Chains A and B, each alone.
Chain A
Amino acid sequence: MQPVLEMRGISKTFPGVKALNDVNLTVAPAEIHALVGENGAGKSTLMKVLSGVYPHGSYAGEIVYEGHPGRFRDISDSERLGIVIIHQELALVPFLSIAENIFLGNEPARFGIIDREQVYARARALMATVGLHESPDTLVTHLGVGKQQLVEIAKALSKKVKLLILDEPTASLSETDSAALLQLLLNFKDQGIASILISHKLNEISKVADRITVLRDGTTIETLDCRSEAVDEDRIIRGMVGRTMANRYPVREPKIGDLLMEVRDWTVHHPIHPDRAVVRRVGLTVRRGEIVGIAGLMGSGRTELAMSIFGRSYGQGISGTVRIDGATVDVSTIDRAIAAGIAYVTEDRKQLGLVLGEDITKNTTLANLPGVSTAAVIDEAVEHRVASAYRSKMRIRSFGVSQQTVNLSGGNQQKVVLSKWLFTEPKVLILDEPTRGIDVGAKYEIYSIVNALADEGRGVVMISSEMPELLGLCDRIYVMNEGRFVGEFPRAEASQEAIMRAIMRSKDLNG
């Protein structure tokens, strides 16, 4: 059978770096082809070559698409032939409606006048295909990330897609939304649409992929065929990192001490709708040296809980008490929360965690400038020493501490954010999705850092949507659903099934 796409011997060089070196990729018709590799392995570059972001001539090698040489000068060239790429950062216009977004740049129109009948009819049809049950007039800004993702896919379908490329489509989706999305890919497959799926979530890949191509350091390592042999996660990881990873979670002997932080009766209301409680009477305890997990679906109120404790940076109508070392502390503003010994490592490091245009040094000291200053004057030497010390302690890979953080990989950016918070000498660290969008090797390093923090006697609260991660790391796991804590499991009793059961049971109770 003739493949839909063949990329042969693709090489792409940037000044000083060979990003791709003789990469081969073949996608068969109606195939879900997964592309995996650590961050920086060249996945995104390869897809940019394919879609024409890097035009023909700026790379070596050839692309054969549907039997013809594909020489794309830009994205519109490749889109015209049915190659549509959906990026990790969604490209929707928030204040336009679903229908307007679907047909953006491609409006059904006669003489420049938009045919609204056709827009609605086609938008409805496309939305039905992707399972998006909303009015076509709803503004995109009012949709959650999961539904926005569906709008993107509907947009792709409107362009008569033959090869759909999804870059980390489920990175910010909840488990249910992810499952729905993957099911959609399987449906497309039945209709004969091929897709290339880039993802760090290996369990998803092993579920839906027909073949898996592994990239490492810009070269093709292997292509695994899931139909002829069973490919499990460990097998994929072996290809990605080039060695067997015996343990995905570093071993730690927990040394749990006294009660460190206690949150009582914590209730938070929505910042815009004051009558809507997002967090309801939550009670939480953390001991010294303990890693406490908070499991739950997207939108269950975990981030809202964390941010409201951290200086009321979310919500209004907040009530409840926070005690640290037995004494009630004032967490009414962020600087007071920091002073009380709380640090919050955000789930969105690019938007909320880092000043991307600034270098590692300035980001590291930002939350504790007095720590490197005398009388409001920054001592550069001290600051440089502090940043350098964290850089080596965290093993941040960069050209020194003067490198802009925008140029770092996700894992290294996360380490800078962690450095910033460690430099505030927190007693309790709240980590919100600390490994989101980070590759396997860097994840392991982050886990080791988290373990080390607990062993220093700090309390760690870890929010994660990846249950294996919570199970592998935490000493105790709270389960959150619809603003309440609906379960609490010590390590020994925790399992994915138990957590999911707790969530489902609470749903039944709430009707």
Chain B
Amino acid sequence: MTDSTVRNPMIPVSEGLSGPMAASEPRSAPRSWRGFLPTAQLHEYGLVFALAVITLFFEYTTGGVLFQPLNLTYLVLQNSYVVVMALGMLLVIVAGHIDLSIGSVVAFVGALAALLMVRFGVDPLTATVLCLVVGAAIGGLQGYFVAYLGIPSFIVTLAGMLVFRGLTQALLQGASVGPFPEVFQALSKGFLANFAGPWTAVLIALGLTTSLVGLNWRRRQVRVRNGGPADSPAAFLARNGVTTIVILAFAYQMSDYRGLPNVLLVMFALVMLYQFVTTRTTIGRRIYALGGNVKAARLSGIKTERLTFLTFANMGALAGLAGLILVARLNTANSKGGVGFELDAIAACFIGGASAAGGIGKVSGVVIGAFIIGIMNNGMSMMGIGSDWQLVIKGVVLLAAVCLDVYNKNNRA
């Protein structure tokens, strides 16, 4: 399983999820026009490169275990919730805020799900919907303090972190609650049925990539017609070609174990959705404007308070979903769930190039950031590095990523 055809394409997986969309994203300055790569692009290439180096490093040090179908599947199951939370965190950070409470919200919603399904026998679908609503309500409550009362998000969510950790403990009374109904467990442990034989995963991936490349091509054509910034045909082919190959190889490798995990599909759908929301919709545009210059945004008629509120509510809902995914995978809810999750999500955003000052950040970057963290967690565990040094290394990587980003920005000015 360590032959090179499998190894190489693995590298920019996350670019495969969002790379082509990001590539034609309008934020970046003109490209082919002036013959230079704008910094936004450089950063993106730098990220993919970093992910590649890290991946190859662990592939080498673990003796090829990293890419084995079992481990690959495990990697997805273990890290999907980081991606889910990081998507919400991206919007919060772009809006110029931070949310420290999500680890506690994950635990709280997980505990709530356990009580509803295990203790009270609520059917899984109703319980899931209810839990997402509660997550959104928690996020919205905190967002209310931030947006309408003007209390710094750092403080509000720090309070939320304590409050919801405490409430989790109160809910569970020190017990671990489980097991969950099988239907619910399928959220994290289930796989898409191989309805089309062993090649199902590859076929699905093929369908997805074809439609992605098609959409990108159409978008590029529109830009070319209107004189907007667009890739040259060669660059377009290279980007999309590599992406397609990576996704297909990834799917092929996964199909060798049990196929595509349900949670991967959920994650993929969310990444696509947030990519779309951040780049193509008015609400996404307004969040960036809000983070870039809140006064100018307000004077442009944007309801900045409501937008901030919604950003936090969205974060809460996604934290709720992450809580569900977590308890479904562990098959039990306890009061220690989700400790430190907020840090993974925040780190993914900053490694992925989001600016702490707000207004800057991309879905593609965040996904790559989440993968860098995930692969480091996974690889270091396999290498037998103790959790003490894992923390140190992760901290250094986060700092280094942000330093590099700041260095790039200063050089541009």
Query: Which residues of A approach B to under 8 Å, CB–CB?
Result: 310-311, 313, 333-335, 337-338, 344, 346, 351-359, 361-362, 366-367, 369-370, 373, 376-378, 380-381, 384-385, 388, 399-400, 402-404, 420, 424
Contacts and interface: CB of A to CB of B under 8 A. Distances in A.
B26 interface: yes
Contact of B296 (A353, A369, A388, A403): A353
A113 B316 CA distance: 50
B229 A402 contact: yes
B223 A381 contact: yes
B281 A376 contact: yes
B207 interface: no
Interface stretch (B12-20, B114-122, B299-307): B299-307
A334 B299 contact: yes
Contact of B222 (A334, A362, A376, A380): A380
B96 to A, nearest CB: 12
Interface string B353-379: 000000110000000000000000000
A362 B288 CA distance: 10
B226 A358 contact: no
Contact of A366 (B28, B29, B280, B300): B300
Nearest to A335: B301
B28 A354 contact: no
Given A369-B285, A380-B219, A356 B301 contact: no
Contacts of A313: 298-299
Contact of B298 (A334, A354, A376): A334
B370 to A, nearest CB: 24
Given A352-B299, A366-B300, A400-B33, A385 B226 contact: yes
- 10 closest Cβ pairs, A-B complex: A355-B292, A367-B300, A335-B301, A369-B282, A355-B293, A338-B301, A381-B222, A334-B301, A366-B300, A384-B228
B300 A358 contact: no
B281 A335 contact: no
A352 B359 CA distance: 15
B297 interface: yes
B53 interface: no
Interface centre among A366, A369, A373 (most CB of B within 10 A): A366
7 contacts: A334-B299, A355-B292, A355-B359, A356-B292, A358-B359, A400-B33, A402-B228
A400 B293 CA distance: 22
Given A310-B299, A338-B301, 11 more contacts: A335-B303, A352-B293, A355-B292, A357-B360, A359-B27, A362-B288, A366-B297, A366-B300, A369-B285, A373-B281, A420-B300
B289 interface: yes
B293 A404 contact: no
Contact of A402 (B30, B281, B283, B299): B30
Nearest to B284: A378
Interface in B1-43: 26-30, 33-34
B289 A355 contact: yes
A310 B299 CA distance: 9
B329 interface: no
Given A384-B227, A402-B30, A377 B297 contact: no
Most-contacted residue by chain B among A310, A352, A362, A380 (CB, 10 A): A380
Contacts of B26: 359, 361-362, 380, 384, 402
A338 B360 CA distance: 27
Nearest to A424: B301
Contacts of A357: 292-293, 359-360
Contacts of B28: 402
Contacts of A385: 226
Contacts of B296: 351-355, 366
B186 to A, nearest CB: 33
Interface in B191-231: 219, 222-223, 225-229
B33 A346 contact: no
B29 A403 contact: yes
Given A335-B303, A381-B226, A362 B289 contact: yes
B290 to A, nearest CB: 9
Contact of B289 (A352, A366, A384, A388): A366
A361 B30 CA distance: 12
B299 A388 contact: no
Interface string B149-192: 00000000000000000000000000000000000000000000
Contacts of A354: 293, 296
Contacts of A381: 222-223, 225-226, 228
Which of B227, B280, B296 has the most CB atoms of chain A within a 10 A radius of its CB?
B296
Contact of B299 (A346, A358, A376): A346
B227 A376 contact: no
Nearest to B25: A380
A412 to B, nearest CB: 16
Nearest to B219: A380
Nearest to A339: B301
A373 B277 CA distance: 13
Given A313-B298, A367-B300, A402-B26, A380 B223 contact: yes
A369 B33 contact: no
B291 to A, nearest CB: 9
B97 interface: no
Contact of B301 (A311, A346, A380): A311
A366 B291 CA distance: 13
B373 to A, nearest CB: 26
B280 A377 contact: yes
B405 to A, nearest CB: 14
Nearest to B229: A402
A289 B228 CA distance: 35
B217 to A, nearest CB: 14
A25 to B, nearest CB: 26
A311 B33 CA distance: 41
- Among B28, B301, B360, the most chain A Cβ lie within 10 Å of the Cβ of B301
A370 B222 CA distance: 20
Contacts of A366: 285, 289, 296-297, 300, 302
Interface in B340-363: 359-360
Contacts of B229: 400, 402
Contacts of B27: 358-359, 362
Given A354-B293, A370-B282, A399 B34 contact: yes
B297 A355 contact: yes
Contacts of A358: 27, 288-289, 292, 359
Contacts of B297: 355, 366
A370 B229 CA distance: 23
A346 B300 CA distance: 11
A399 B283 contact: no
A406 B392 CA distance: 38
A373 B282 CA distance: 7
A209 to B, nearest CB: 33
Contact of B295 (A352, A370, A376): A352
Contacts of B34: 399
A122 to B, nearest CB: 37
Contacts of A338: 301
Contacts of B359: 355, 357-358
Contacts of A400: 30, 33, 229
Given A334-B301, A335-B303, A356 B293 contact: yes
Contacts of B293: 351-352, 354-357
A377 B284 CA distance: 10
A293 B85 CA distance: 53
A335 B299 CA distance: 9
A106 B360 CA distance: 37
A376 B223 contact: no
Nearest to B29: A402
Contacts of A346: 299
